[in-house]
Amino acid sequence: MGRLAGKIALITGAGRGIGAAIAHAFAREGAAVVLAELDAETAGQTAAAIERETPGARTLAVRTDVTDATSVREAVAASERTFGPLDVLVNNAGINVFCDPLTMTDEDWRRCFAVDLDGVWNGCRAVLPGMVERGRGSIVNIASTHSFKIIPGCFPYPVAKHGVIGLTRALGIEYAARQVRVNAIAPGYIETQLTRDWWDAQPDAEAARRATLDLQPMKRIGQPEEVAMTAVFLASDEAPFINASCITVDGGRSALYHD
Ligand code: NDP
């Protein structure tokens, strides 16, 4: 029996990166997984890869834009029609919007908040009524070490990611008595396309990559699967008294005083 056997989970932004790793790990642990992803093609490809990796896995790929509350509600409805009531939601979809505050455009601000904070709220709002009524559920929000620490020039991403922690704590408390747990994971540097795109945007991509590794206490950055293992734990029945909390997955980087 897998650690998520019998559970039904929806993961946003599951077409690639951390979301895809979470979808693979959840399926390996016996959950039916719904890949709610902006890009229908990558969602379908990841679902097919999961079914190859885990024979008998139950997957559903649904094109979803987390910035659009109706689109998220429709994804939840499609999941429930296919598999039944959702036990787990992972709000993973996110984008980097890294600007200088005073030259940032209004569009940059809105784009960042639409995905990184409204997107998380849209997911929570779509699943909470059912979870509260059933008296069970686990929501896992993918925050960031930017939820606690600031890197100059990365505005307004950390503002939205601080908000994800606020939302996690507020909703965790709001529905605790109904046994709905809301937690967050704060990854540090994880090797995904998002990170590679950031290196590639620097004047010397290889030097930027080396500089990132040098800053890490473990002299490496994390892998998506290392975040996925934590998501499995929080989503499972192994974490029944963990609520309104955040687990940092950064190899110790945010505990370091000096660069
Ligand atoms: P990726 O860019 O590799 O993957 C993000 C996925 O989300 C993509 O498949 C993307 O689809 C999808 N997505 C983007 N916008 C939307 C939307 N509006 N609706 C639905 N899906 C959408 O990112 P990561 O895997 O690296 O990041 C995942 C999460 O982890 C994010 O919340 C990020 O902020 C957080 N994080 C990542 C860290 C890292 O070092 N990688 C560190 C800390 C936090 P498409 O490709 O079509 O745009």
Ligand 1 site-directed mutation target among 10, 12, 24, 37, most atoms within 8 Å of CB: 37
At 145 the pLDDT is 98
Is the same domain home to 215 and 103? no
Confirm whether 253 is domain-assigned. Answer: no
Cβ contact 58:28 at 8 Å:
no
The number of the ligand 1 atom at minimal distance from the alpha carbon of 17 is: 25
- Mapped onto helix, strand or coil, the DSSP state of residue 64 is coil
Ligand 1 in reach of 12 Cβ (< 6 A) = yes
- Mapped onto helix, strand or coil, the DSSP state of residue 215 is coil
Is the same domain home to 25 and 130? yes
Confirm whether 257 is domain-assigned. Answer: no
Segment (H or E) for 218: none
Confirm whether 133 is domain-assigned. Answer: yes
Is the same domain home to 199 and 181? no
Structure tokens at 248: 């940092």
Q: Ligand 1 centroid to 117 CA: how many Å?
A: 13
State residue 155 phi and psi, 5-degree precision: -70, 145
Q: Ligand 1 centroid to 160 CA: how many Å?
A: 14
Is the same domain home to 83 and 210? no
The CATH number of the domain holding residue 23 is 3.40.50.720
Cβ contact 232:185 at 8 Å:
no
Structure tokens at 143: 């925050």
Cβ contact 221:213 at 8 Å:
yes
At 65 the pLDDT is 99
At 45 the pLDDT is 98
Full residue range of the structural domain in which residue 196 is found = 192-221
Is the same domain home to 208 and 106? no
Q: What's the rounded Cα separation, in Å, for the pair 189 and 18?
A: 11
Q: Which residue's alpha carbon is at the smallest distance from atom 8 of ligand 1?
A: 13
The identity of residue 66, as a single letter, is V
Confirm whether 71 is domain-assigned. Answer: yes
**Neighbour tally for 256: CB within 10 Å:** 12
Cβ contact 114:211 at 8 Å:
no
Give yes or no: 189 in active site.
no
Q: What's the rounded Cα separation, in Å, for the pair 175 and 131?
A: 9
Ligand 1 in reach of 190 Cβ (< 6 A) = yes
Q: Read off the pTM.
A: 0.98
Q: What's the rounded Cα separation, in Å, for the pair 234 and 241?
A: 10
Q: Which residue's alpha carbon is at the smallest distance from atom 23 of ligand 1?
A: 194
The identity of residue 184, as a single letter, is A
Tokens 């979301």, residue located: 19
Is the same domain home to 139 and 63? yes
At 259 the pLDDT is 73
At 37 the pLDDT is 98
At 258 the pLDDT is 78
* Residues in the chain where the model's pLDDT stays below 70: none
Q: Ligand 1 centroid to 93 CA: how many Å?
A: 4
Overall domain count for the chain: 2
Confirm whether 65 is domain-assigned. Answer: yes
**121: Cβ contacts below 8 Å, ≥ 6 apart:** 167
Q: What's the rounded Cα separation, in Å, for the pair 37 and 228?
A: 17
With CA atoms as reference, report the closest residue to 93 among 192, 237, 178: 192
Q: What's the rounded Cα separation, in Å, for the pair 168 and 185?
A: 10
At 121 the pLDDT is 99
Is the same domain home to 59 and 136? yes
